Structure 1
Amino acid sequence: MIIKRVLNNNTVISTNSQGVDVLLMGKGVAFGKKKGEVLDIALVEKTFLLKDKGTQNKFTELLLNVPLEHVLVAEKIINFGKIKLGKNLNEIIYVNLTDHIHSAILRYQEGIVLKNPLRWDIARFYSDEYAVGEKAIDIVKKDLGVTFEIDEAAFIALHFVNAQLEQKDNLAYEIAEITKGIEEVIKTYYRTEFDEASLDYYRFITHVKFFAQRLLKGEHYDDEDDELLTILKNKYPSEYACARKIGEYVQANYQYELQSTELLYLTAHIRRITKNL
């Protein structure tokens, strides 16, 4: 393969048989090489081909200053996450996670350890992604000899949550905060805790996370269901009153007004998780 651009001693840009730019990485793969020269393919350890041109450009810029070892560790974590989650991930995770791993290692070398105030909530609301974060800590320690604190698992988990969202904005942290706030409204109203292992609780949290996404985007359901809401209001007055409390919470904190369909769904979910109290 012909070298199109040398980024550093370990990374070059070349072009594949389809004329698409690819990133080729390997220890010393570009040492002493220049644009237009032939690359020794035997030295290539990893090949990166990102479909989105903007993401490819960001990743290329990132690789100018990130050690090969950090890039390979980030890729190993991403590959584990793909298998663990079984979901498609936005390519931007290659940029965001690689940058996070590299920056976190530099922080730790300077003795700067950040705490994540939402760690327990992230672990509860995004348990699979948090498990990926825990595995990432093991990989970093084994491959790079750096011991991350457990808070780092939550930070890493959010990158995998964001990579699954339709939008490219990093909303996972805000979604976790909204989810926690709504759950606290219900706990306070009923003066209770919930069985977090139950299917009803899982359904409730899933619904609230999707609701939080709509809230942050300022979206509402297109249809209104006042008639069915009136039926539920009369049948489950306590659950409806709690849903209205949630409405007051999101209005006060996010200037978002709950409409009848959302009140309907919340009332139904609150009934499910509180029916045995």
Structure 2
Amino acid sequence: MQIHKILNNNVVVVLDEQEKEQVVMGRGLAFKKKCGDEIDPAQIDKVFTMSNPDTNNKFQEIVANIPLEYMLLVEDIITYAKTHIGKKINDSIYISLADHIFMSVKRFSEGIVVKNALLWDIKRFYKDEFYIGQKAVEMIAQRTKIILPEDEAGFIALHFVNAQMEENPDKVEDMYTITKVMQELSNIVKYYFNMEYDEDSVYYYRFVTHLKFFAQRLVTKKTYQEESEDDLLDIIKMKYKNAYECVKVIKKFLVEQYDYLLSDEEMLYLTIHIARVTNKNCG
């Protein structure tokens, strides 16, 4: 295995049999070596192959500037998450999570603590991902002796939620906004009906899932449109009167706060989900 490019003493780029780049890590792997030299397979700790060329370039930039220990830690966290979540995770997670964890530990070591205003909602909306965040904080403590606050488990959870989304896989700030929108709409429903959610019910799970993809469309400015469902909407309005009145409140809120106009299709499906999750008029 020959060195194609040297990123630092511990990280090099090689070419596989198809002439595609692979990032290879190992302590002292490139020490006193140059491009074209052979590397000792026994020194290799990890090999990364990124399918997307742009992701590959960004990954190489990140690993060149982050200590090997953090990259190995991040790999272990992601491997654990893939096993626990059981869903496809975009390769961009290696970039965003490595940068986030490295900077978080650095900030915390300097006495800087960043509060997570949406921590409670992250726990509520993304239970699996928050569990991964908690495990990640434990693993960080084991490796670095730095005990990060629970807020960081929430931030890490958002990285994993984001890496499962098809749109904007490397914009975690959008995921934060998406969660905020979910929080706002969930609260509107909660206070409109003066109720508490049954967070273990299948209707609540479906409602949260609908809110997540709706909020994603709002943030990315993509309105959901299908063939006209006017007749069905009229039927739903009559059957689920309370839920539809709640949707009208949401519609007004979205126009005022986000300059976003709900389509008839969005009002239709939101009404159905609200009716089910509130158990109002849904016999």
Report the Cα distance in structure 1 between the residues aligned to 2:234 and 2:5, rounded to whole angstroms. 66
Could you say what secondary structure the match of 1:193 adopts? coil
Match of 2:42 in 1: 42
TM-score by length of 1: 0.96
Match of 1:226 in 2: 230
Report the Cα distance in structure 2 between the residues aligned to 1:80 and 1:224, rounded to whole angstroms. 44
Equivalent residues in 2 for 1:136-155, closer than 5 Å: 136-155=136-155
Q: Which runs of 5+ in 1 are unaligned?
A: none
Look up the equivalent residue of 1:144 and give its one-letter code. T
Q: Is the 8 A contact 2:240 2:280 kept in 1?
A: no
TM-score by length of 2: 0.94
Match of 1:237 in 2: 241
Report the Cα distance in structure 2 between the residues aligned to 1:223 and 1:215, rounded to whole angstroms. 20
Q: Is the 8 A contact 1:89 1:164 kept in 2?
A: yes
Displacement, 1:276? Answer: 6.0
Could you say what secondary structure the match of 1:147 adopts? coil
Match of 2:75 in 1: 75
Match of 1:192 in 2: 195
Corresponding residue pairs, total? 277
What is the CA deviation profile of residues 188-232 of structure 1, one whole-angstrom value per residue up to 9, with x for unaligned ones?
211222111111111111111111112222222222211111122
Report the Cα distance in structure 2 between the residues aligned to 1:273 and 1:60, rounded to whole angstroms. 46
Report the Cα distance in structure 2 between the residues aligned to 1:166 and 1:128, rounded to whole angstroms. 18
Q: Is the 8 A contact 1:69 1:144 kept in 2?
A: no
RMSD: 1.4
Could you say what secondary structure the match of 2:4 adopts? strand
Could you say what secondary structure the match of 2:200 adopts? coil
Displacement, 1:118? Answer: 0.2
Could you say what secondary structure the match of 1:3 adopts? coil
The ranges of structure 1 where at least 4 consecutive aligned residues each deviate by more than 4 angstroms after the TM superposition are none
Match of 2:275 in 1: 271
What is the CA deviation profile of residues 141-179 of structure 1, one whole-angstrom value per residue up to 9, with x for unaligned ones?
112222111110110011111111111233221111111
Match of 2:262 in 1: 258
Equivalent residues in 2 for 1:99-248, closer than 5 Å: 99-168=99-168, 169-170=171-172, 171-218=174-221, 219-248=223-252
Look up the equivalent residue of 1:233 and give its one-letter code. K
Could you say what secondary structure the match of 2:114 adopts? coil
Match of 1:87 in 2: 87
- Percent identity over the alignment is 43
